[in-house]
Amino acid sequence: MSSSSALFSPIRVGNMNLQHRIILAPLTRVRAHADHVPSPQAPVYYSQRGSTPGTFLVSEATFISQKAGGYDNVPGIYTNAQVEGWKKITEAVHEKGSFIFLQLWALGRAADTAVLAKENNSPHVSASSILRPGQTDVPRALTTDEIKEYVATYAAAAKNAIRAGFDGVEIHGANGYLIDQFIQDVTNERTDEYGGSIENRARFALEITDAVVEAVGAERTGFRISPWGVFNGMGMADPKPQFSYVVEQLRKHKLAYIHVVEPMADEVSAERNSDFIRDIWQGVEGSTFISTNGHTRNSAIETVDKKGGLVGFGRLFIPNVSYLFLDFVVVTDASPLPSLIFHSAY
């Protein structure tokens, strides 16, 4: 294998002309200030990972509002101070000739109730009153009025992201957080228009997407899902019908991309894979498919060469960045991977 792989070839995604198919996947870093303003080290961290021109970065998950939070030291995008903090980051990334989307996040039942209590006594909520494994506090179900408020808050956060200089936003609909809690039947037992059927469970996610697309444009919007994920107590018996419907509806928007958290390599089988989503998404003009979760150099090359799209790396972006964009290109199957050097500065 060599750098002749399509993994190292240009591609247009939304309004961005990328120079290769490797992206920085979202990584929660827990380094923001107490007021959820990004730290002074963050511009250096992100610009280093965008140091190869034409690289696409997706930011760490970022709270759309104080109510949507529930973790300490995670950045937000709902105050002017937070917007100004992110401006320094987007400017640093753009100076390297690279691109960055902001990931929009609401925790739902995954929130730490102690953090919610100290931050304006925000409510502990979800799609339904179902306890998350490992927690002792049962969330309450959001009212329909609160759901509409969340939809509007996502749109406002997306506008703030563009004001902060981001090239677009990624809606975090994966990993058992609030949007995923509405999508999956293991966390959604509602009997109103937001539950009880495939279409109704998808409604919250689709209304958010409608609002965000109206606010910033489809070419500036991506969506992340994890059909096979079990994190945070998730895992439908058969996710294919539910997620097929969600993706079919998202497809109509011609978003910049669909971002799928794949099963780990040792969990993939003929029945358990994300090819059904690729099949639905195929042919969306100006859009692409991003695959993440445990990729190696070889699996990334094989995925892009055989199936197309982009591949996201998370932990491999934490070491010194020369590893990923220099050694990564020239290492052959017969060569040992270079030592990973982990830095603690950010």
Residue 177 falls within a domain, yes or no?
Answer: yes
In a domain, 341, yes or no: no
Cβ atoms within 10 Å, residue 310: 23
Tokens of 232: 């945070």
Buried b (16+ CB within 10 A) or exposed e, 133-170: eebeeebebbeeeebeebbebbbbbbebbbebbbbbbb
Regions of the chain where pLDDT drops below 70 = 1-3, 264-270, 319-346
**71, 177, 194, 257: which one is catalytic?**
177
Return the pLDDT at 270.
62
Q: What is the CA radius of gyration of the chain?
A: 19
Residues 185, 201 contacting (CB under 8 angstroms): yes
Q: What is the C-alpha to C-alpha distance for residues 59 and 168, in angstroms, rounded to an integer? A: 11
Say if 328 falls within a structural domain. no
232-to-131, 177, 213, 289 alpha-carbon distances in Å = 10, 8, 28, 24
Among candidate residues 261, 265, 214, 266, the one with its CA nearest the CA of residue 239: 261
pLDDT of residue 336: 40
> How much is the pLDDT for 320?
53
Dihedral angle sign, alpha carbons of residues 193, 194, 200, 202: positive
CATH classification of the domain holding 314: 3.20.20.70
- Is 323 assigned a catalytic role? no
pLDDT of residue 327: 52
Range of the domain at 291: 6-323
Query: Of 105, 107, 150, nearest to 132 (Cα)?
Result: 107
Per-residue pLDDT at 286: 85
Q: Are 76 and 66 in contact, with CB atoms under 8 Å apart?
A: yes
pLDDT for res 346: 47
pTM: 0.93
Tell me the pairing of strands 56-63 and 310-313: unpaired
Asked if residue 331 belongs to a domain, the reply is no
The total domain count for the chain is: 1
Distance CA 152, CA 104 (A): 13
- For residue 340, being part of any structural domain is answered with no
Other CB atoms within 10 A of residue 270 CB: 6
Do the beta carbons of residue 109 and residue 125 sit within 8 Å? Answer: yes
Integer CA distances (angstroms), 227 to 212, 217, 230, 239, in order: 22, 25, 9, 6
Is residue 335 domain-resident? no
Report pLDDT for 192.
98
Q: How far apart are CA 238 and CA 228, in angstroms?
A: 9
> Does 333 reside within a domain?
no
What percent of the chain clears pLDDT 70, i.e. is strictly above it?
89
Alpha-carbon distance values, 2 to 22, 66, 307, 309, 326 (Å): 15, 47, 18, 18, 12
Residue 110's contacts (CB-CB under 8 Å, 6 or more residues apart) are 70, 132, 176, 177, 178, 232
Has residue 1 been placed in a domain?
Answer: no
The span from the CA of 167 to the CA of 161, in Å, is 8
Residue 21 confidence (pLDDT) = 93
Cα angle value 209/16/308 (rounded, 5°): 85
